[in-house]
Structure 1
Amino acid sequence: MKVLLLPLFQFPTGHSKVAKTLQDHIESQYPDAEIKIVDFLSYCSDKLEKLVSGIYLKGFLGAPFLYRALYYTIMYKQHPFKLQPDLQVLSYYFERKMQKFLDEEKPDLIFCTHSFPSGIISSLKQKGRYRDITAVNVYTDFFINDIWGKRGIDFHFVPHNEAKEKLIKKHHIPDDHIFVTGIPVHSAYHLPVPFKKDDRISHILVAGGNSGLVNCNFIESIQKVPHIRFLILCGNNEELYSSLKALDSKQIEPIGYIENPNEMNQLYNKADAILTKPGGVTISEALQKKLPILVHTSLPGQEEINLDYLLEKNLVTVIYDRQITEQLNNEEAILSLRKHIDSYLEKITCPLDYAIFISIKSIGSRTPDTVHSLRAVPTIK
């Protein structure tokens, strides 16, 4: 059995983290499977990937208003901004590239962790091509944008019941083809943070320093709560790490890039809350750890839409600089977050292993030997 996992971009993203999580799960159950994680943009052209990823990063951090307009124009047309560019020429180019890619790789199963390859595969399958390949969408945000393929996609791993209902009602996807798995996170995060006697916050893990969350205003605001220690994840931002280190503050501990999920899990276990941006994967890790989630800022586009959902479900609290002391000392609000997180997790009804098992079982008639390599058939709640 050959499995392809298709995120987007070569630099670390939530899409690539989910792809790695899927890889680990498949390898543990199907040790004989051939698994490849491929950035489809890089396959098309390394120069193209660098160009698009550069625009993506610069748009996020350098031109948020432009990025927001582009996102709502191309990716999420439910927004009132209605300009819809003609992308037919680009679609033809990428479909040709995808055909060449699939003809070379000859996969049995494809997991898309980004909407871009999903949309291309959906288009090809609707045209009658590659129907013998099982294709799965694994959604990595708390909403479903317009680029994700729907028709021709065999299974959908969705973040919550509302997403499932939308796929059923709007796109007429069969109920038994949709699994409410939540946004997949590494198994290291499946156990909640060890029980603490009270809900007072004394340690906060800060995620998002690599994306501009931590700046002078932020440092000034956290100094208003000197009794709280901040563990700040700097990622690959060496300049930020050095500047925080130079502060020589007992309140602030900068932490460099962490790749190992078990090391990251240890940091989660030390924390009483997490202060982050509303990225789908980081938020889902915090939900699994049952950590109170505080949002200080959000990037344009998908993070804004994620935040709308999270606030609607009372899963996060937005932290304001001027009110940071009162908010971080509000034990009642923190307790409310914990209760809503418990409620959210109870509604994730399908273990990831089971959803993967059903996806692989669907190709069993073509590759029956792969099903026999399953070490333990997972059970569904």
Structure 2
Amino acid sequence: MKVLLLPLFQFPTGHLKVADTIEEHIQKQYPDADIKVVDFLNYCSDKLEKLVSGIYLKGFLGAPFLYRALYYTIMYKQHPFKMQPDLQVLSYYFERKMQKFLEEEKPDLVFCTHSFPSGIISSLKQKGRYKNITAVNVYTDFFINDIWGKQGIDYHFVPHHEAKEELTRKHHLPGENIFVTGIPVSTTYQFPSPHKAEQIRHVLVAGGNSGLVNSFDLIGAMQKLPHIQFGILCGNNEELFAELQKLDSEQIIPIGYIHDPHELNKLYDEADAIMTKPGGVTISEALQKRLPILIHTSLPGQEEINMDFLLEKKLAIVINNDQMIKQLKDEAAILALRKNIDAYLKEITCPLETAIHTAIKNKGRKSAEPVHSLKAIPTVYH
């Protein structure tokens, strides 16, 4: 059995982490599977991948308004920013590249963890091609943009029931092929953090790699809470790591790049809450660990939309420098977050391994067998 996993970009992203999680589950259930993780954009052209990823990174941090306008222009068909660019030539180019790619690899299944390859495969399958390849969308944010393929995609692993309702109502997809798995995270994070006292004593701060902690106003606000320890994940931001080290503080502790998920899981277990940006995968890891989520800032585009969802469902609170003391001492608000997170997790009705097993069991069929009881499908090891 040949399986392709299609994230986007060469640098670490949530799309790549979700692809790694899918690979982890498939290898566990089907150790003989031939699995390959491929950045399709890089396959098309490494120069093109470098160009697009550079625009992505620089736009995120250097020109947020332009990135926001570009994101909505490309990702949504109807939006005030929409400029209706003519993408027909590009679509033809990428479809030809995808055909060449699929004919070279000859996969049985393709899992798309980014909307870009999903849209291309959907277009090809709607034209009657590659019907023998099972295509699966694995959504990595709390919303579904217009680039994701809908028709022609065999299975959808969605973050919540509202997303399933959108696909069935708006796009008329069969509900039995849409599984509410949540945004997939590594099995390393499957167990909740140990029971915590209501009062917050230790906050894990994520997002240092993307500029979350570059404001020393935020550091100043933390220093006004001497009873709380802040562990700051600096990622590859060596400048931030060095600046925090200079503080020589037992309260504000810089943490370098972490590659091992078990090491990160240990930090999750030690924390009483997480302060972060609303990236889909990081937020989902925090939800799985039952950590109260404090959002300090968000990057333009997808993170803003994620934040809207989290605030609407009361799964996170926006924290600001001036009110941080009051907010972190509000035990009732923190308890409410914990209860809302528990309620959200109860609505994730399909274990990821069950959804994967169903897709693999039905691979290559023109119409999948209906799933009457997801719980009745065993996890199979070969």
Q: Could you say whether these structures have the same fold, taking a TM-score greater than 0.5 normalized by the shorter chain as the test? A: yes
1:220 counterpart residue number: 220
Aligned-partner Cα distance in 2 for 1:68–1:191: 36
2:374 counterpart residue number: none
Secondary structure of 2:170 counterpart:
helix
TM-score normalized by the length of structure 2: 0.95
Aligned-partner Cα distance in 2 for 1:77–1:318: 30
Secondary structure of 1:278 counterpart:
coil
1:180 counterpart residue number: 180
Secondary structure of 1:284 counterpart:
helix
Provide Cα deviations, 1:318-342, integer angstroms capped at 9, x if missing partner.
0011100000000000000001001
1:20 counterpart residue number: 20
Aligned-partner Cα distance in 1 for 2:77–2:270: 41
1:110 counterpart residue number: 110
Secondary structure of 2:128 counterpart:
coil
Matching residue's letter, 1:378: T
1:209 counterpart residue number: 208
Secondary structure of 1:132 counterpart:
coil
Deviation, 1:378, is 2.9
List runs of 5+ in structure 1 lacking aligned partners.
Answer: 367-375
Secondary structure of 1:145 counterpart:
coil
Secondary structure of 2:327 counterpart:
helix
TM-score normalized by the length of structure 1: 0.95
Deviation, 1:78, is 4.7
Aligned-partner Cα distance in 2 for 1:117–1:168: 22
Q: Does 1:378 align with 2:374?
A: no
Provide Cα deviations, 1:337-380, integer angstroms capped at 9, x if missing partner.
001001100000000000000000112779xxxxxxxxx9239x
2:371 counterpart residue number: none
Q: Does 1:70 align with 2:70?
A: yes
Aligned-partner Cα distance in 1 for 2:314–2:293: 10
1:48 counterpart residue number: 48
Matching residue's letter, 2:121: I
Aligned-partner Cα distance in 1 for 2:223–2:44: 48
2:273 counterpart residue number: 273
Which aligned pairs between 1:225-304 and structure 2 lie closer than 5 A? Answer: 225-304=225-304
Matching residue's letter, 1:95: E
Aligned-partner Cα distance in 2 for 1:264–1:200: 22
Secondary structure of 1:179 counterpart:
strand
Matching residue's letter, 2:181: T
Matching residue's letter, 1:123: S
Pair 59,364 (structure 1): closer, same or farther in 2 beyond 3 Å: closer
Deviation, 1:281, is 0.2
Aligned-partner Cα distance in 2 for 1:92–1:226: 59
Aligned-partner Cα distance in 1 for 2:294–2:76: 26
Aligned-partner Cα distance in 2 for 1:179–1:101: 28
Aligned-partner Cα distance in 1 for 2:322–2:248: 25
Secondary structure of 1:265 counterpart:
helix
Matching residue's letter, 1:35: I
Q: Which deviates more, 149-158 or 210-219?
A: 210-219
Secondary structure of 1:188 counterpart:
helix
Matching residue's letter, 1:214: V
1:87 counterpart residue number: 87
Provide Cα deviations, 1:290-314, integer angstroms capped at 9, x if missing partner.
0000000000000000000000000
Secondary structure of 1:234 counterpart:
strand
Aligned-partner Cα distance in 1 for 2:194–2:279: 24
Secondary structure of 2:146 counterpart:
coil
List runs of 5+ in structure 2 lacking aligned partners.
Answer: 367-376
2:353 counterpart residue number: 353
1:164 counterpart residue number: 164
Matching residue's letter, 1:207: A
Deviation, 1:15, is 0.3
1:371 counterpart residue number: none
Q: Does 1:191 align with 2:191?
A: yes
2:35 counterpart residue number: 35
2:202–2:272 contact (8 Å) kept in structure 1? yes
Matching residue's letter, 1:28: K
